[in-house]
Structure 1
Amino acid sequence: MSRPAARRLPGIRFEIQAPPVTDALPRMDVAAFVGFAQSGPLHVPVAVEDVADFEAVFGPAPLLAWDAERGEPVHAQLESAVRAFFRNGGRRCWVVRVAGASAKTNTFPVPGLLRCSKGVPVTVTAALARARSEGSWSDGAKVAASLHREPVELVDWSRVGATGAELKVTAPGGVSVGDLLRVSFDSTGYSLLVPVEGVEPVAQEAAPKGPGPVSRRVTARVRAGRVLWQQTDVAPGSAPPFVSWLRGKGDEVSLAVTRMDAPGPNTKPRVLTLTLDLDPKDAPPAGTLLRVVDSPEETHWLLVESVHLGGTVGGAVQVSGVVSRVRGSTPVEVASASAWCERLTLSLWTRRGEEQPAQLERLGFCPAHPRYWAALPTDVERAQHDDQETLPSRLPEERLPQDWRQGVPTERFPLAGPGASDEAFCLPLGLTDQPTAYVGCTPPAGDSLERDGLAVFNADLFLDPGVKSVGLEALQAQADFLRYQSSNPRSLRGIHAVMDRLDATLVAVPDAVHRPWVLAGSLDVEPAWPGKPLPEPPWGTFLACALRPPPKPAPFVAEPEKPSSGQSFTLRWGTVPGTDVVYVLEEATRPDFSDAAELYQGPLTARTLYGRDSGTRYYRVRAERGGTTGPWSVGLDVTVAPQARWHLVPEARYDVGPLLAVQRALMRMGCARGDLLAVLSLPEHYREAAAMGHAATLQSPLGKEEDGVPPLGFAERTALSYGALYHPWTFVSEEARPGPPRRMVPDGTACGVLARRALERGVWVAPANERWTGVVALNPAMSAERWLDLQEAQVNVVRQEPRAFLTLSADTLAMDPDLRPIHVRRLMSLLRRAALRLGATYVFEPNDASFRRRVQRGFEELLGGLFVRGAFAGRTREGAFQVVTGDTLNTPAQAEQGRFFVDLKVAPSQPLTFLNVRLVQSGERGTVTEAR
């Protein structure tokens, strides 16, 4: 028996819902990080709210160079800094990936997809997709495509001509503009491709009753301005045709055809085989579309289904597949054939190696489709559309579809469309409902680091050339001019891209501290010495045949020939005839094998070696049979190359100029903004004297110009209070990452501690004596005898204390003692942001006595709240702050000019930095008192 519903008294009841609580103070915990990443948009800030967000867009830390002095690879520091920021309490940050102008984007041929132009005559080309961002990170990606077909009832197709087509169809939910319809004709090999440009509903059936959502069947008249006919199972003429291939980097490559084998028209499917005269390594892979031209009027397309390398007659490569042709005129064969219709959508697939493929489905073939595949956005376009500040001003149709945002925790879909073009629509060729072949890109010329835009390390990677040399007074105006008022407005680059992210109050450039790298040449390797011959037997006596020594094992090779550091490689040698043969393998570091050590002894003819560091090693093998030892094989030298071809310059040749330029620009930008604190760090190899000297160089107005950035002059001394210097580097044990701790700059951890302090207690509390989460060691550890010297030099030293790793100083580089503490500078920035927000509410108010009193009350309320929370020193409100709006400040002349001034005078609170504790023994009892 069901329970009756609860009864209520008759009448009216009011439910009061509390309004949402607004932030009483501006947010001061948002950081900005600028550095090197594997992928992601260049010079565009991206909002990141957790580590998964970062990894989805920017990927793992890229490999930069090889440190020959340490014998280890060097990776970018941006990822580590962001992870440390969130580990230590940060909640939101902006990330800017930077690179040079040489950064290039990979392009991928899309298997089975053609693009048709709007012009007359129609131009048909193979479709190319782009990687979503620049760099070599997508070299290993491969692309496939599949087709989704939805049946559509064809009522009438009689109005099809050279100027377009008009169909009458019935489909569940109807047909929309941007759909691609395909009308197939039985037993003819022809199909009609109709891009829908106009829809006129004719009739609508009522939705059937029953459980679940069921779409109504809508009959509509569909119009298309241009249609194309596609014919399959055809073959070009008998003569060898002209064949070309649009490779992954966008170059059309001509292929020499030495032979063509085509079956008769009665063979289904009619597979064409072309014999190509080219090197097997340059063969087009399965899934490639080849353009086959046998006459000026006839162009066919061959979708490669199989590739056979070597052993062919008259060439090195054979490719086979079904040939199709695209035409604009209506064939006579379809006049009496039965027809059926379907709606087509595209699915794109990508994968790397043996990873699980990623799929993006229900994409359109026409530009009018809301999910047109060629409009798949790049990382830059995603970042621009996801910007919360500009999003409300965009029209709904300009925003990205929700499922194209590619959220976390998985990596973003690696492909983007080719961009705006004059194509009418795209058409599928030989696609099925499942991907059949994955095709990779052909990377552009150049080393991977060159294509990443990081081959040359200098300050220009991080700075905007239009503002880097501009002084403090004109910096903000010049930045606004470049962004909004110039004849060619543009966004700022590098660290200056952070200037218009007004919620960011911390900024760090963790990758500015790297030593430069140079391309290392190949090493001259001394070949292995030949082995000593076997001693001759005692001639003149009978020798049994069983004592005959086995021959040298040959051939003796390494696969791969030049492995990289940490990569395994396999040594293989030839089999020696006979039974019970045992092979002995030796390894040495000297070519004469004087330090040889035995690696293996047994019957196998291959041995895989792991974990070899960079360097040259020598190997030899011999066979033993029945106790008789054979001669050593020819020695084999294997050079294990570093993981990167680029090597860091030695510490002795380090040039600090780029780092000085970046850090000067950071402090100058922070001061121009008025609320941006730059968290600075030093190279890992800097000891105490070098760290103090670097701080003094930053403070000196007489230093030399570095990379176009002048030193902070006498009139720019205030900018020094917008920079805080931390040292040394830290060893961090990261969560969910087994292995040894990673060395990283202190920028990310320092920003996380600053953000956590702002969230939990307020920016007016000194961000010192706070645990640095995850830190397990320091490198190099600063000598305790020099801690005071470093503190006087205004270097915030990361120290190892019994309870944690932390800093016991929180100083900026300011020369003014009042602005030296970080919490004072951050408090002043908070007041500036709060005053701007509160002052905006008073714009356009009449400037009279009541207005002045209202402004005074508003700012006194703001400062009073800060006083209660401990932001100011003083026992009373009058001793802690003052708000001045009187006639002395606002004269009648200023009021006539529309000006109104408010002076805020505050006394920032000061932390307790040193306390004397006195231990006193009185009789049998001991007491502890504080000594002031």
Structure 2
Amino acid sequence: MSSQNPPGVFVKELPHGVHVITGASTSVAAFLGYTKSPANDGPDATSAPFSDAERAVPQKIGSWQEFAARYSTAGIAKELADATDLSTIHTLQRCLPLAEAVHGFFANGGGTCYVVGFTSPQSAVAPEDLKGNAEARTGLAGLETVPEVSMVAVPGLWDMTADASSEKEVPAPDHAAGLSMMAEVVRHCTERRNRLAILDPPPGQTPAQVAAFADTLASPDSDDAAFTTLYYPWITVPGVDAVERTVPPCGHVAGVWARTDAERGVFKAPANQNLRGALKIETVLTDDQHGELNSKGVNCLRVFPDRGLLVWGARTRSTTRDWRYLNVRRLVSYLSDSIRQSSTWAVFEPNDERLRATLRHSVASFLTDQWRQGALVGRTPDEAFYVICDDTNNTPETMEDGKVICDIGVAPVRPAEFVHFTITQIAGQSGSTT
């Protein structure tokens, strides 16, 4: 058949057959908390507040302005300013920790987050409700459909442990209920294995009380502890309604994680970083107090002369050598998630040496790029990682089961948490004269 093309130069693109592994998301946060429906709708469909049904499922938010419009922040602030009934005031105030956390996330460098709301701020939330329902996409179960989430926080968790009060004094949080809800958050992260929980101790705790509280969490040598982080103390912020308040730091910390990922990479410990949007911390720590908390896996916020308020800790709650450091746990989750997501092409392919060679090449190329960026330790790629996908681990038995096995080992960079200097004073030599 004759060509129908006119004379000229034509380009035909052909697939090269190389499967490239792309990095998975590491900087998307998920926040769960109280939210209240507005009295009036917004001016247009794109900025109109979400309905109660929409608020109960994960909603993607790309900026603070979008959150403020969709979750009626200005309306809540106005209602709170006009309210005189104590029950109404306390109910409205319970919606603000979520707003402060989202604002802190974007102020510190966050780019995208998901919000899951609980639309009855006057009532306590049971651990089962926080766990949610997968079919209805509520609570933590709703986040199972959002694979890009890499950090989970519940900024109003301690408010959720009790009903709103009509008394002048806000009821004390129920520590047992709070621990149960924290356990649900950690269980969700551990099962998903691509996200970490950012937890906050109860409000108004002294350093000694926080140290004791840390001991009540999951055992430090358990798998759950590797997916758990705890930050202290709470911070004072200007307030999204221009009223200063003390809030948990989880939203601001999530923003610092995202900022560090963007500036340096997920392998860099998200510490020694300024906490933007915070006026002061609830408790100023001494070095001795910080040392005790650090040994228990509590990441502290510190104030240093001429440097301001800094995140000064990068540990998980784990005491095991492999998962003690936050950036190591996040790096391994990132590598695992990236390889898994980018290797789905191999499903249903002929299970032969060509498939195994392609997998080896794809994974080795990806890990070599990570080594060049400084994520892995070693003078050469061979010292930084290994990839085994051949006849040694793919036996006839595994092939009959329809499996292809790729064993991967990496040597992640660990932070220089303690830097020691030895200072020697050299006595001056007496000069000689002639």
Coarse TM-score class (shorter-chain normalised): 0.7 to 0.9
Query: Which residue in the other structure is 1:657 paired with?
Result: 176
**Does residue 1:721 correspond to 2:226, yes or no?**
yes
Name the CA shift for 1:746/1:518 in 2 (closer, same or farther; >3 Å).
closer
Per-residue Cα deviation, 1:18-74 (whole angstroms, up to 9, x for no partner): xxxx9941121111100011223242111100011101111125769969xx9x966
Letter in 2 for 1:842: A
SS at match of 1:77: helix
Q: CA deviation at 1:453?
A: 5.4
Contact 2:86/2:166 (CA < 8 Å) preserved in 1? Answer: no
Which residue of the other structure, out of 27, 30, 33, is the alignment partner of 2:28?
Answer: 30
**Does residue 1:731 correspond to 2:236, yes or no?**
yes
Mapped partners of 1:498, 1:508: distance in 2: 12
Mapped partners of 1:921, 1:793: distance in 2: 36
Query: Which residue in the other structure is 2:185 paired with?
Result: 666
User: Could you state the TM-score of these two structures normalised by the residue count of structure 2?
Assistant: 0.82
Superposed CA RMSD: 3.0
Contact 1:88/1:756 (CA < 8 Å) preserved in 2? Answer: yes
Which residue of the other structure, out of 84, 89, 96, is the alignment partner of 2:109?
Answer: 89
Q: CA deviation at 1:864?
A: 0.6
Which structure 1 segments of 5+ residues have no match? 1-10, 100-451, 467-482, 484-489, 522-641, 702-713, 926-932
Q: CA deviation at 1:666?
A: 1.0
Query: Which residue in the other structure is 2:377 paired with?
Result: 873
**Does residue 1:690 correspond to 2:209, yes or no?**
yes
Structure with the higher fraction of residues in helix conformation: 2
**Does residue 1:49 correspond to 2:62, yes or no?**
yes
Mapped partners of 1:75, 1:860: distance in 2: 47
SS at match of 2:299: strand
SS at match of 1:873: coil
Query: Which residue in the other structure is 1:142 paired with?
Result: none
Which residue of the other structure, out of 771, 787, 790, is the alignment partner of 2:293?
Answer: 790
Letter in 2 for 1:730: I
Mapped partners of 2:383, 2:245: distance in 1: 49
Query: Which residue in the other structure is 2:146 paired with?
Result: 501
Mapped partners of 2:11, 2:360: distance in 1: 37
Query: Which residue in the other structure is 1:551 paired with?
Result: none
Letter in 2 for 1:797: C
Q: CA deviation at 1:492?
A: 3.4
Counterpart mapping for 1:245-394 below 5 A: none
Name the CA shift for 1:815/1:915 in 2 (closer, same or farther; >3 Å).
closer
Per-residue Cα deviation, 1:865-899 (whole angstroms, up to 9, x for no partner): 10111111122211110001132211111112211
Query: Which residue in the other structure is 2:131 paired with?
Result: 463
Structure scoring higher RCO (CA < 8 A, sep ≥ 6) equals 2
Q: CA deviation at 1:458?
A: 4.1
| Identity percentage of aligned residues | 28
Q: CA deviation at 1:733?
A: 3.2
Mapped partners of 2:143, 2:95: distance in 1: 24
Mapped partners of 2:94, 2:342: distance in 1: 47
Contact 1:734/1:774 (CA < 8 Å) preserved in 2? Answer: no
Query: Which residue in the other structure is 1:516 paired with?
Result: 162
Contact 2:21/2:342 (CA < 8 Å) preserved in 1? Answer: no
Counterpart mapping for 1:818-829 below 5 A: 818-829=322-333
Contact 1:89/1:755 (CA < 8 Å) preserved in 2? Answer: yes
Query: Which residue in the other structure is 2:342 paired with?
Result: 838
Contact 2:26/2:149 (CA < 8 Å) preserved in 1? Answer: yes
Query: Which residue in the other structure is 2:303 paired with?
Result: 800
Mapped partners of 2:298, 2:405: distance in 1: 37
Contact 1:796/1:809 (CA < 8 Å) preserved in 2? Answer: yes
Which structure 2 segments of 5+ residues have no match? 1-6, 14-19, 38-49, 430-434
Mapped partners of 2:428, 2:12: distance in 1: 66
User: Could you state the TM-score of these two structures normalised by the residue count of structure 1?
Assistant: 0.39
Mapped partners of 1:31, 1:666: distance in 2: 13
**Does residue 1:917 correspond to 2:424, yes or no?**
no
Query: Which residue in the other structure is 2:170 paired with?
Result: 648
Letter in 1 for 2:319: M
Counterpart mapping for 1:155-554 below 5 A: 452=120, 454-464=122-132, 483=134, 490-514=135-159, 516-517=162-163, 519-520=165-166
**Does residue 1:745 correspond to 2:248, yes or no?**
yes
Mapped partners of 1:16, 1:894: distance in 2: 40
Letter in 2 for 1:462: L
Q: Report how many aligned residue pairs link the two structures.
A: 390
Contact 1:512/1:658 (CA < 8 Å) preserved in 2? Answer: no
Greater Rg, structure 1 or structure 2?
Answer: 1
Letter in 2 for 1:696: D
Mapped partners of 2:98, 2:288: distance in 1: 32
**Does residue 1:767 correspond to 2:270, yes or no?**
yes
